[in-house]
Amino acid sequence: MSILAIGNRTLTWGERTYVMGILNLTPDSFSGDGLLPSPPAPLTPASPPIFNKNGGRGERGVDQARRFLAAGADILDIGGESTRPGSQPVDTDEELRRVLPTIRSIAAEFPDALISIDTYKAAVADEALKAGAHIINDVWGLRADPELAAVAARVKAAVVLMHNRSKPANVEVRERLGNAYVAAEYQDLIEDVKRELLESVAIARAAGIPDEHILLDPGIGFGKTVEQNLELVNRLDEIRALGFPVLLGPSRKSFIGYTLDLPPDQRLEGTAAAVAIGITRGADIVRVHDVEYMLRVARMADALVRRK
């Protein structure tokens, strides 16, 4: 079994499934779980940790982190920019204002917690790692910002390299079900995803990131149709065969909503099914909103497929 020694933790791949809890510090999350009001109150990147009792930005994130860690979450994934299909980007300063107070607060209160920063911007990742993050979760697989790989290599951070063919022109909007990608073209879905993930791996290696610090994410919901997402989950073992740990992020996504004809707040069972199947196909980490429930799903799936 290979391992990842990061922060004060060691993750042993293949031993069990690790659960990553999502903390969306945004006002516009697709799943309705964004922790920021709209518009957010002004902050600066140098703002101290926030612990106000009126639902302030830092406190909302820390409250959710407490719940996730108490439930047994292994990693906290903190993001300050929505990546839902068709979402609008935010600038670096605003993203830093959203994420840094919560990262600092969590790192101070829970020094053993593993924190992931969900960003594709080198400047955001650099400041987040200084504030207490350990992992960079890049939805563009080191392709969007040429400086990001160097940041990860310099501080010996782990990186999640996600496959992404998102194009705003290919987004379908349905008021009840949310946004989804249509007409995403692949010559061979699995082979194309594998090849492009390995291109991201090559970028990481060239920057000096060691293989043991590299994780792969097939990019469920990013530039894929509903059918393509279903196929990716079912064939996740072919991504795992590339030899790197795999993160799967199906939680509440539109491929579940379109399959079941349900809005984001009614996708718990669909997420559970995708998580369970993903684990049987080799997922090492599942990235989820509903940590308490998905931890139970992961433990049960592990009991079935990881029996010694």
* Catalytic-labelled residue, pool 97, 104, 253, 281: 253
Mean pLDDT score, 51-66: 65
- pLDDT tens for each residue of 137-174: 999 999 999 999 999 999 999 999 999 987 654 555 55
Residue 70 has pLDDT above 50, yes or no: yes
pLDDT value at residue 87:
63
pLDDT over threshold 90, residue 195: yes
**Is 253 a catalytic site residue?**
yes
Of 44-58, 74-88, 170-184, 282-296, give the lowest mean pLDDT range: 44-58
Burial call 161-200: b when 16+ CB within 10 Å, e when fewer: bbbbbbeeebbbeeeebbbbbeebeeeebbeebbebbeeb
Amino acid at 62: V
Q: What is the mean pLDDT of the chain?
A: 87
Concerning whether 287 is annotated as a catalytic residue, the answer is: yes
Split at pLDDT 50, 70, 90, the class of 183 is: low
Q: With contact defined as beta carbons under 8 Å apart, do 206 and 149 qualify?
A: yes
Q: Which of 57, 224, 267, 287 is catalytic?
A: 287
- Judge: domain 16-305, CATH 3.20.20.20: yes
Q: Which residue has the higher pLDDT, 188 or 167?
A: 188
Ranges assigned E (strand) in the chain: 3-6, 9-12, 18-24, 75-79, 114-118, 135-138, 158-162, 171-174, 178-181, 214-217, 247-248, 285-288
